């Protein structure tokens, strides 16, 4: 794997790194930017975190790395239910909701689990978008806008509930 620095002119392994804090020598500059931004936001302002993935039509909350549920799982489940109901009301698309480890499988290293377990953000969800495997990652163009419309309703409801905290 080649690693690039902030100059992006040649692989970092072939030259000396500049002494600038602009972009550290790392294999994933986007991750560094996210982590840096995350560290500098007010912890109290972090009330919700959502990630969007494809595909499976799932609305999941932590945890994925264990079968244990977060202490506030009932609240996460309540909000997930409201969000899925709002999503389904738009085009009739059905989603399943629950903890990742109970409705999908055990997974390790997800940002969802980190943000809930370490950063202690109250409302954390992963939304696995359409479809359920027929098209997989190649969703037909005519399903993209409906997916956006229904997903937006789910996000809107989850955000409203999180901000009412």
How many DSSP H helices and E strands does the chain contain?
Answer: 5, 4
pLDDT single digits (tens) 125-145: 999 999 999 999 999 999 999
Sign of CA dihedral 100, 102, 105, 106: positive
The domain segmentation of the chain, as residue ranges, is 1-40, 43-163
pLDDT single digits (tens) 31-82: 555 555 555 556 557 899 999 999 999 999 999 999 999 999 999 999 999 9
150 flagged as catalytic:
no
Provide the whole-model pTM. 0.74
Annotated active-site residue in 74, 75, 128, 153: 128
pLDDT at 2 over 60: no
pLDDT at 124 over 90: yes
* Domain boundaries 43-163, corresponding CATH code: 3.40.630.10
Burial 82-98 (b: 16+ CB within 10 A, else e): bbbebbeeeeebebbbb
């Amino acid at each position: 794997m080649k690693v690039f620095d902030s100059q992006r002119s040649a692989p970092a392994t072939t030259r000396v790194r500049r002494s600038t804090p602009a972009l550290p020598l790392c294999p994933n500059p986007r991750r560094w930017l996210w982590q840096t931004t995350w560290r500098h936001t007010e912890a109290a302002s972090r009330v919700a975190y959502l990630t969007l993935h494809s595909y499976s039509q799932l609305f999941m909350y932590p945890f994925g790395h264990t079968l244990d549920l977060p202490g506030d799982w009932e609240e996460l489940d309540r909000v997930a239910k409201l969000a899925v109901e709002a999503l389904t009301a738009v085009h009739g698309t059905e989603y399943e909701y629950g903890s990742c480890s109970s409705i999908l499988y055990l997974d390790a290293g997800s940002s969802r689990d980190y943000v809930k377990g370490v950063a202690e953000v109250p409302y954390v969800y992963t939304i696995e978008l359409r479809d359920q495997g027929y098209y997989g990652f190649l969703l037909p163009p005519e399903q993209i806008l409906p997916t956006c419309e229904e997903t937006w309703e789910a996000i809107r409801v989850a955000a409203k509930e999180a901000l009412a905290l």
